[in-house]
Structure 1
Amino acid sequence: MLRSAGAWGLLPGWSRIRSRIRGPRLQPFPARPPAAPGGNAGPGPGTVSAAGVAFLAVSRLFSQDKKEQQNLEDDIILLIKQAKLSIITGKLEDADRFLHQALKLAQQSHNNQAIIYTYVQMANLAFLQGDLLNAEKLFKAAMSQLLGSGTRQDDNAVIEMSLKLCSIYASTEQHGLAVEGYKWCIETLEEKVQSQKAVPEESLSANEKDNTRLLLGMSLDSCARYMMSRKQLELAESLYQKALEISRQVQGETHPQTVVLMNDLATILDMKGQHEQAYEYVRRASDLARETSHPDECVILHNLARVLMHRGNYSEAKLVYEEALKQAESKADKPVIERIREGMEELEAKTLKPQVLGGNESLNGTSSY
């Protein structure tokens, strides 16, 4: 779900293209049927009618067109695969070149599904490169193509791209557009989730309903992070609570994104000075992170150490900081290492302060922050 969810996985009509990119190649056409005995193609023995000749000519022409279209789609898929591999290996300029080639072929073949899919991949790449202006243009182009093909405005694919635009507006300090965008995404999805409850499963599968709920969770999470950055902590807490509830219900308590949301909610509560409530959430998150070898375990442990420090549990905080630092160093995660060391310096300053003042505060953690 949420941050870890594969963006654009919900776009309609793309399953064929995406499955061929990700999965095994399938033969697009059945094997040619055997010729009639004696090589006859017409109704009589050894004869071919004029109508039969005309039909065969049209059939061959149609078959050639289909083969050409199939070859173009194969080329597009190969280029997109090469682009994705280039992104993984950090060759972003090569990825951009492959995607432009794929778009050109998609436009030449009038393959609207491939055009939309390629636009989205290009937009994601531009976003990754920090070229937010270009990413915005590309997302809008993809949305225009999608809506022009008859897709409803409340389709999950449209909302997903709208959510990406919200992130761009938030990053470029276009506060009004970001807030309106987040509001539209959340309200539209809340109405959609409610309306889908009454739809029988034979008409709409449970998986499709869950996809809509997970997209709502993603929207709530993204908006919460933006509100936290603007110090609107009450609103951020409410949004995180809703996102966490959705993740728990749909994906379970131990899912990596559920654990991340527990940690994020603890951060908000800690910022509000509600250290005991923050501790409950971050302690649970850290326990689950250890049990499941969570990829962000060192970040969650860093947050646990901070909450412990704010509760006055200095000795325990020191041990957790050391554990977090060891993990971060093993991954060579420099930004996290830097934050952990800053936290350890802050903790050291707090433990020295009572000694300088001649106080009786113990490292066992009984003082208040």
Structure 2
Amino acid sequence: MAAYRAVRAVLCRTQSGFFGPAGLRRRCIAVQNFSVMSQPEAGARSTCLIARSTYGRFRRNVQTQAGVLWAALAFSLFSSSDEDKRDEAQRKEDDIVLLLKKAKLSMHRGQLQAASSFLHQAIALAHQTHNTQAIIYTYSLMANLAYVQGQLENAEKLFKAAMSFMLSGGTPEDDNAIVEMSLKLATIYAEMNKAELADHGFRFCTESLEAKLEKHKELPAEEKTEEEEALRKETRLLLGLCLDSRARYRASHHRLNQAREDYQNALNICRQEQGETHPQTLVLMSDLATILDLQGRHDEALVLIQQAVDQSRAAGHPEQHVLLGNMAGILLHTGRLEDSVRLYLEALSLARQAGDQEAVDSIQEGLQEVKKKRSQSKEEAAG
């Protein structure tokens, strides 16, 4: 469960769904997950490039660029006729792979300084041997590491460096891997309060993916192979992640109508591609309910969050306490204080069982808010 929470925090340091007025958490995607660029491994946070959770945020059905790059490293990229040179090249490539494995293990253990050291050794060796695939993958990991350490400007430079190598190598600008990195850059700009760059980045991602999907629709039936269908699904799920990420960004800037539209579209994608009871479908239902609640549409929000909670109980959703906390907050806003307390307490128990201290703290804040509401009601009645 700790690993899940780490991955969720990748795309933003706040989560994308609120628990009550104090904002129990805004569930991040991370982002979780429509797709993943690298393996979600870190201590306090994940080094996953565009991920959210070990079982969600749409990642399961998305081909990962990290997997492609890692597979490329498994084969020698050198073809010299000189056996000694070939052996030396293979040895250096093996050294790169070993350094990357050590870096990823260090990230998993939360040993970020050690991970940084291994990655710097790996990138030096990758440049020395002109191993482009290794350069791209290592820059991606370095960018993730810089991101989780709060070094946003450094992370920006490293992501751009990785993208530059990909583009110069012939990767199309609308390739899903480029879009994924562009999405990460957009989230970085959002955190740096560079609104114009963030807006441009999110727009590039969504428009690029929508255009690709339109092209797929125009393909003749005989050209819609299994491979093409897999690419279509991957692209659509990545579009869902982009919409989800932009919804959180827009909500943070109080652009609630736009956020609601993005959440609704992301939810539609998840329902169609992942199913009605998929964990991420339920998360997005909760996110959308949060926006409706913030807009004062409490009855609509309550219907939606009730559906999510009911389905989460039936499916054994791993984070029922998150959904229950959201519902408790909405009930609080409708004035149903006793029902709110009941769900907050249930959520608190589940959060403690899950070892989710962040949720525990925030749920307790929600309970304090209920207490204030009760006191205000008594004072008004007495007055």
Where on the TM-score scale, by shorter chain, does this alignment land: which range?
A: 0.7 to 0.9
Q: Where in structure 2 are the equivalents of 1:295-334 lying within 5 Å?
A: 295-334=318-357
Give 1:90's match in structure 2, choosing from 110, 123, 131.
Answer: 110
1:158 aligned onto 2:210: no
Give 2:133's match in structure 1, choosing from 113, 117, 132.
Answer: 113
Q: Compute the TM-score of the two structures, normalised by the length of structure 2.
A: 0.79
> Residues 36 and 66 of structure 2 are in contact (CA less than 8 Å); yes or no, is this contact kept in structure 1?
no
Quote the Cα distance in structure 1 between the aligned partners of 2:65 and 2:245. 26
Distance 1:134 1:277, change over 3 A: same
Give 1:65's match in structure 2, choosing from 49, 71, 85.
Answer: 85
Aligned-partner SS, 1:205: helix
Aligned-partner SS, 2:31: helix
Matched residue, 1:355: 378
Q: Where in structure 2 are the equivalents of 1:1-369 lying within 5 Å?
A: 3-5=31-33, 6-8=35-37, 15=67, 17-19=69-71, 61-199=81-219, 200-202=223-225, 204-358=227-381
Query: For residue 231 of structure 2, what is the amino acid of its counterpart?
Result: E
Distance 1:65 1:288, change over 3 A: farther
The CA deviation at 1:350 is 2.1
How large is the Cα RMSD of the aligned pairs? 2.4
Matched residue, 1:52: none
Residue deviations 1:230-275 (CA, integer Å, cap 9, x gap): 0000000000000111111111122222221111111100000111
Which shows bigger deviation, 190-199 or 210-219?
190-199
Quote the Cα distance in structure 1 between the aligned partners of 2:300 and 2:370. 21
> Residues 11 and 157 of structure 1 are in contact (CA less than 8 Å); yes or no, is this contact kept in structure 2?
no
Quote the Cα distance in structure 1 between the aligned partners of 2:380 and 2:368. 19
Residue deviations 1:280-308 (CA, integer Å, cap 9, x gap): 22112222333334343222211110111
Which shows bigger deviation, 286-295 or 309-318?
286-295
- Greater RCO (Cα-Cα under 8 Å, separation 6 or more): 2
Q: Compute the TM-score of the two structures, normalised by the length of structure 1.
A: 0.81
Quote the Cα distance in structure 2 between the aligned partners of 1:60 and 1:89. 39
Quote the Cα distance in structure 1 between the aligned partners of 2:80 and 2:133. 26
Gap regions ≥5 residues in structure 1: 30-58, 360-369
The CA deviation at 1:13 is 7.8
Quote the Cα distance in structure 2 between the aligned partners of 1:254 and 1:63. 56
Quote the Cα distance in structure 1 between the aligned partners of 2:275 and 2:185. 29
| Sequence identity percentage | 44
Aligned length: 325
The CA deviation at 1:325 is 1.1
